[in-house]
Structure 1
Amino acid sequence: MEGIMSDSVSLNASKERGARTYSGYLMFAVALVLLGIFIWSIFRAIEMQGGIGNIGACVGWFVAFTIASSGFYMLQPNQAASITMFGSYQGTDRKEGLRWVWPWMTSTKISVRANNLISEKIKVNDLRGNPIEIAAQVVWRVTDTAQALFDVDDYKAFVLAQIEAAVRTIGSRYPYDDIEHKEVTLRGNHDEVGAELRTVLMERLAVAGITVDECGFTHLAYAQEIAGAMLRRQQAEAVIAARKKLVEGAVTMVEMALHQLSEKDVVHLDDERKAAMVSNLMVVLCGERDTQPVVNTGSLYQ
């Protein structure tokens, strides 16, 4: 069913093509010439005291001048005009300046410039089910004017709706954060997630003849109702991670100390004294406060 629907969409998709239009500057000159001939024909008819032929010539030159003076439109840089005749698409004109088409044709202007859009903040549940607030910035532009005008009802509203849908899709695929940095997250992998967001948007906007130049997140945070709890959780995870690194380093240093003492034959320790030394070193290395040294002036076993 999906394959049939996609095939029908591709068959019904419009495609931009060049329109047959003319230089407006040339037609302006032609209109001035026709206006001059029309005025001359009026004086000619007055001199000849009317006559069907002279009156018919005046009417003919007036109609020609009316046709030539109609159909002008102006195109700025990075602006296009879709030409239709009695509802049928005739092509798109992308040549800037003063342009002209036959009066019975209609021109609809459309911008092909880059548009910068910042979406509103929306609430999404991430991969772990945590509610987050997210907003995106998207730079998009029209590449196929026929699709933008005739394949969707309102291409600007279509862009807004698809951006929101794509942001929700990407936001639910990844967790907000990962303290162990073992998976892709929204907060820690901006470039990778932004590239996937762009891919999803281009797939969604292709039906409207729109491409996405760049995109990224402008706002990313936990929702207000869990922001405090998640902050405490992040702080706890950070403390645990720091303690883990500290203990791993302390164990390595104690192991190195015992090995060097034994290897260099500095002192011989039994198992009980080794355990006491390990305990003291771990306290010194893992403690948060400065330790006070105690000098033993007696024997090792006192």
Structure 2
Amino acid sequence: MTDDSNNLLNASREIAARSFNGYLMLLVILGSILWFGWAMTSVIPGGPNADFLGMGLSIAIFTFVSAGFYMLQPNQGVALTLFGAYKGTDRNEGLRWTWPWMGKAKVSLRANNLISEKIKVNDLRGNPIEMAAQVVWRVTDTAQALFDVDDYKAFVLAQIEAAVRTIGARYPYDDFTHQEVTLRGNHDQVGGELRLELMERLRVAGITVDECGFTHLAYAQEIAGAMLRRQQAEAVVAARKTLVEGAVGMVEMALEMLSAKNVVELDDERRAAMVSNLMVVLCGERDTQPVVNAGTLYS
């Protein structure tokens, strides 16, 4: 049996705790106060009607009941323990009451938004990049969060960093040919994989991830300048390729139309010269200056 299987078998599981409505117990408190007041009025120094027993019992009841109150706000839970043994989690909001000897540990069930620190990661091609993630998480199992990890908030921080490193090393930062899944070009897909990775890692702590994504993604400073020049060069090459493909198509179309309409008959040498001139005009970065030929075509 693997370690993961053992962890799942030994994992804590949240159960509902047995507790009482705190407002009903307030009536018991009020009754003990009234009893104490009645006992006080019956006390006659040295007389047979002194109710010291009633006074003592009312004080004991007041002290006992007062020690068992606790209050829960919406989306809060309290884990109850008896001498270290987990007895359940109460999620009923409002004023609650349980036995005074029960231990109480409150846990927030609200969504938490966390933005991690920027960390340096090597992508699939070994390029150092900087990454930071934004994660929305919440506790779903209070027993696992409190008893299966030492500090579930610190555990979340550590696992977010580990998951970001794992996903960052799984894909390249960028691919100019758009043939691969990249960190920069496929945010939704990579963010989805990051969420699945985090949910798997945080499952042991009873925590789920509602949303996550990258808030910072860039090349590390030591290679940022070089990679920028590389991207610019690739962009120039791609633009030139598109320009040449368009120019060749236009030249081909011009020659076909001239031949089809019998505008002019060109031998191979003049056809090559026209192709050269058209390519210069279409592919040049500067405006061309026309030259008027006042003689014959071959002069």
Pairing 1:96–2:93 present: yes
Q: Tell me how far apart the structure 2 counterparts of residues 223 and 94 of structure 1 sit (CA, whole Å).
A: 46
Residue aligning to 1:155: 152
Give per-residue Cα distances to partners, 1:183-211, cap 9 Å, x unaligned. Answer: 11111111111111111111111111111
Distance 1:46 1:69 in 2: 29
Shift of 1:39: 3.6
Show the 5 A alignment for 1:154-193: 154-193=151-190
Matched, 1:203 2:200: yes
Kindly tell me: are residues 50 and 143 of structure 1, through their superposed partners in 2, closer, same or farther at Cα, counting changes over 3 Å? farther
Which residue does the alignment assign to 2:123?
A: 126
Distance in structure 2 (CA, Å) of the matches to 1:154 and 1:46? 58
Letter in 2 for 1:144: D
- Letter of the 1:279 partner, please give it: S
User: Structure 2: which 5+ residue stretches go unaligned?
Assistant: none
- Aligned equivalent of 2:210: 213
Aligned AA (2:174) = D
Looking at structure 1, the residues matched to 261 and 42 of structure 2 have their Cα atoms a distance apart, in angstroms, of: 127
Contact (CA 8 Å) 2:120, 2:129: kept in 1 or not? yes
- Counterpart of 2:39 in structure 1 is 41
Alpha carbons of 1:50 and 1:238: their partners in 2 closer, same or farther (altered >3 Å)? farther
TM-score (norm 2): 0.95
For 1:31, the equivalent position in structure 2 comes to 29
Match for residue 228 of structure 1?
A: 225
**1:211-258 deviations in whole A, cap 9, x for unaligned?**
111111111111111111111111111111111111111111111111
- The alpha carbon displacement at 1:276 in A equals 1.0
Q: How does 1:227-266 map to 2 (within 5 A)?
A: 227-266=224-263
Q: 2:14 corresponds to which residue?
A: 16
CA distance in 1, matches of 2:211, 2:258: 61
Do structure 1's residue 288 and structure 2's residue 285 form an aligned pair? yes
Q: Is 1:275 matched up with 2:283?
A: no
Deviation of 1:120 (Å): 0.3
CA distance in 2, matches of 1:107, 1:35: 26
Percent identity over the alignment is 72
Task: Give the aligned partner of residue 6 of structure 1.
Answer: 4
Distance 2:123 2:210 in 1: 26
Question: Structure 2 CA distance, aligned partners of 1:50 and 1:107?
Answer: 45
Give the residue type in structure 2 aligned to 1:236: A
Q: What CA RMSD, in Å, does the superposition of the two structures yield over aligned residues?
A: 1.7
Runs of at least 5 residues in structure 1 that lack an aligned partner in the other structure: none
Q: Which amino acid aligns with 2:268?
A: D
C-alpha separation in 2, matches of 1:148 and 1:265: 85
Give how far 1:64 is off: 2.3
| Alignment of 1:117 onto 2:114 | yes
Indicate the residue corresponding to 1:144 in structure 2: 141
Q: After the TM superposition, which residues 63-82 of structure 1 pair with which residues of structure 2 at under 5 Å, given as runs?
A: 63-82=60-79
How many angstroms does 1:259 deviate by? 1.5
Aligned equivalents of 1:60, 1:8: Cα separation in 2: 51
Change (3 A) 1:5 1:33: same
Letter in 2 for 1:167: V
Structure 2 CA distance for aligned equivalents of residues 234 and 125 of structure 1: 18
Cα distance in 1 between the residues matched to 2:215 and 2:269: 60
**Residues in 2 aligned to 1:197 and 1:48: alpha-carbon distance in whole angstroms:** 80
Paired residues, number: 299
**Runs of 4+, deviation exceeding 6 Å:** none
1:41, distance to aligned residue in structure 2 (A): 3.2
Letter of the 2:154 counterpart = A
- TM-score (structure 1 length as normaliser): 0.94
